[in-house]
Amino acid sequence: MYAVIKTGAKQHKVTEGDVLSVEKLEGEKGAEVVFSEVLMVADDKNVKIGKPFVEGATVTGKILTQKKGPKITVFKMTRRKGFKKKTGHRQLLTSMKITKIVM
């Protein structure tokens, strides 16, 4: 069984036992997070697609760590004007394990 969930303006395909990194969610290590915005749920025999979300479907996960992602370098330059600007960004991420999918 797998599901497609929406979190942090992104969509993730998940199954039970998956470990994934999503944009930062509030909570401490070991806390449970319930995703109610489930776009699709499928098992061996049937598929349910939401309009926009599947009613009654939830995905439960457990927070493993709060961490930072890789550094992204942002460089802006205007030619012939002497303007150069270099900055960086590290996105805050939450690593979590999917524990249960309810259809």
49: left (phi over 0), alpha (psi -120 to 50) or beta: beta
Q: Which of 26, 58, 3 is nearest to 11 (CA)?
A: 3
Q: Tell me what the pLDDT averaged over the chain comes to.
A: 96
Q: If we measure between CA atoms, which residue out of 25, 29, 100 comes closest to residue 60? A: 100
Going from N- to C-terminal start, the domains of the chain cover 2-102
pTM of the model: 0.84
Provide the H-helix boundaries in the chain.
Answer: none
Mean pLDDT, range 51-68, rounded to an integer: 96
Span 3-20, average pLDDT: 96
Per-residue pLDDT, averaged over 41-65, amounts to 95
pLDDT of residue 103: 87
Q: How many CB atoms lie within 10 A of CB 53?
A: 15
